[in-house]
Structure 1
Amino acid sequence: MTTITARCHPLLEPILPRPQLAGRALPDWLRDMPSEVDAASLGGAPVRTLKHCPPFIDALAMGIVIPLATDLTIEDGQISWDWDPPLLPDSPQTRAPIGLHVPEQASGVPLRLPPGQMVVKFTNFWSLQAPEGWDLLFTHPLNRADLPFQTLSGKVSGDAFGMGNVHFPALWTDPGFSGTLPAGTPVAQVIPVPRGKTELGIAPMSDEEVTENTRIHAALQDAPGHYRKTFRR
């Protein structure tokens, strides 16, 4: 088990939504998703949904999620908020829950921004510290295409930078969105990763490995829950 320690300024602690273990912040649509549906493209044959896909669900549940600090109102392409956090006389931390990157800062990056559109930046009021030897990967909440933005990914030293704050640049992917993005909305997923280089080995399967590969996939097809019962750790 790897522990991530989240800290915030003591004056902000009473008003901030807290980071959560991602497994305790699963989206409502996952709970409401049916386990099986009739597939019109298959002549109405019943098929299992992603609710039967442990790798999909395990990705949703990895690490922790960082919540939006306060409600954001989006109307006619404008973002506003009604939030009055205390002044922090001993800290340079911004009081704004969201900032901007001008488009020129993404020059050369194929982000497909409409002309004049800026990259938003969610303010993270929490410092996050991992044990020695661990880095922290920040990314868009996995499998959350329902969110009207796309958080960009980054990685920092989880131990040496444990008292710093990492903010989250994001593309606003739903220009037609209008309404309230509520406080507590996950704006980033944080996954601890062990520090070190990755090596890659490539080889053809042996006859025995082909047989085992075939056996595994036949069992996955034949028995719902086989992966969860056999391979999940």
Structure 2
Amino acid sequence: MRIVFRCDPHLADYLQRPMPARGILPDWLRSMPAKAFSEVHGREIRTVKQCPPFVDAMAHGFVIPLPCDVSVENGVFSWDWRIPEPATRGHPRAPLSFHVPEQLVGAPFADGQAALKFNSFWTIELEEGWSLLAVHPINRDDLPFRLITGLVDSDRFHDGGINFPAVWTDRAFNGVLPRGTPVAQCLIVPREQPDLVFEQLEGPAKTAYESTVAEVLAQPGIYRKRFRAKRRRSSAE
């Protein structure tokens, strides 16, 4: 899969590039202990730091970084980002804009508030037949906002930037959202819908199920050792 990112030439030296998600895992995950004592089990058990599906989900795809520091004070957003006038007409200069509350009427996550819009400073071009699924950075409930998920056919729509709407969830937050904060995690998905096939566990499938479950219960790390695919690093890492 080849993904092409383009930015305004006047801003190239001012922007952080989209980056592989594995390169921006949060500090809380890195500092999490590998094991913790469980009162229920009466012994130490492995934490999610040792759960490959949990970590691999957080490390999958690429993230869009916030291009500058954004200060938040009593619900007011501000920034001091001095960049040149873009060479491209209609190109944004502000890191944020907003959707009025009426655009989210009836949405259970909006709670009557306006939505932020993280403006895009990169266009994204995918190969034919693929779409871009933008989600909230996975397992990142520590961030004071919640991205609104969107799917864009970026093999066709790639001449303009994709903006990323979000709802601000931590209304008590006062401080700085630092430059480089991941505002969206992007996953590349095939546009063609799969065929759903339903079968019963019988014969070899039943035998394989019983054997696999027994192995998983008998010793830790079976998924990681036998089933987890090796991740190829991208050229951006």
Using structure 2 for the length normalisation, give the TM-score: 0.91
| 1:3 CA drift (Å) | 2.1
| 1:28 CA drift (Å) | 1.6
Q: In structure 2, what is the equivalent of residue 170 of structure 1?
A: 166
- 1:121-171: per-residue Cα shift (whole Å, max 9, x none)? 111111111112211111111111111111011111121112221100001
State the secondary structure of the residue aligned to 1:91. coil
Query: Which piece of structure 1 moves more, 182-191 or 192-201?
Result: 192-201
Using structure 1 for the length normalisation, give the TM-score: 0.93
- For residue 148 of structure 1, the aligned residue among 144, 156, 173 is 144
8 A contact 1:52–1:224 mirrored in 2:
no
CA distance in 1, matches of 2:79, 2:161: 22
| 1:111 CA drift (Å) | 1.9
- 1:36-91: per-residue Cα shift (whole Å, max 9, x none)? 00023x16421110011111111111111000011011111111111122112532
Query: Which piece of structure 1 moves more, 20-29 or 179-188?
Result: 20-29
- For residue 196 of structure 1, the aligned residue among 192, 197, 210 is 192
State the secondary structure of the residue aligned to 2:186. strand
Unaligned runs of 5+ in 2: 230-237
Within 5 Å, give how 1:5-154 maps onto structure 2: 5-40=4-39, 42=40, 44-113=42-111, 115=112, 117-154=113-150
8 A contact 2:110–2:167 mirrored in 1:
no
Identity of counterpart residues, as a percentage? 45
CA distance in 1, matches of 2:214, 2:10: 57
Q: In structure 1, what is the equivalent of residue 233 of structure 2?
A: none
Residue type of the partner of 2:214? A
- 1:7-26: per-residue Cα shift (whole Å, max 9, x none)? 11111110111110111111
Query: Which piece of structure 1 moves more, 4-13 or 205-214?
Result: 205-214
CA distance in 1, matches of 2:95, 2:14: 13
Name the Cα RMSD after superposition. Answer: 1.5
Residue type of the partner of 2:15? L
CA distance in 2, matches of 1:55, 1:83: 38
Query: Which piece of structure 1 moves more, 86-95 or 54-63?
Result: 86-95
Residue type of the partner of 1:34? P
| 1:108 CA drift (Å) | 2.4
- 1:181-221: per-residue Cα shift (whole Å, max 9, x none)? 10000000111111202221222211432332232222223
CA distance in 1, matches of 2:213, 2:73: 49
1:3 and 2:2 aligned: yes
Runs of 4+ in 1 over 3 A off after TM superposition: none
Unaligned runs of 5+ in 1: none
| 1:223 CA drift (Å) | 2.5
Decide whether aligned partners of structure 1 residues 60 and 67 sit closer, same or farther in structure 2, where only a CA change above 3 A counts: same
CA distance in 2, matches of 1:44, 1:50: 18
CA distance in 2, matches of 1:67, 1:204: 45
8 A contact 1:37–1:47 mirrored in 2:
yes
| 1:228 CA drift (Å) | 1.4
CA distance in 2, matches of 1:128, 1:112: 28
8 A contact 2:146–2:167 mirrored in 1:
yes
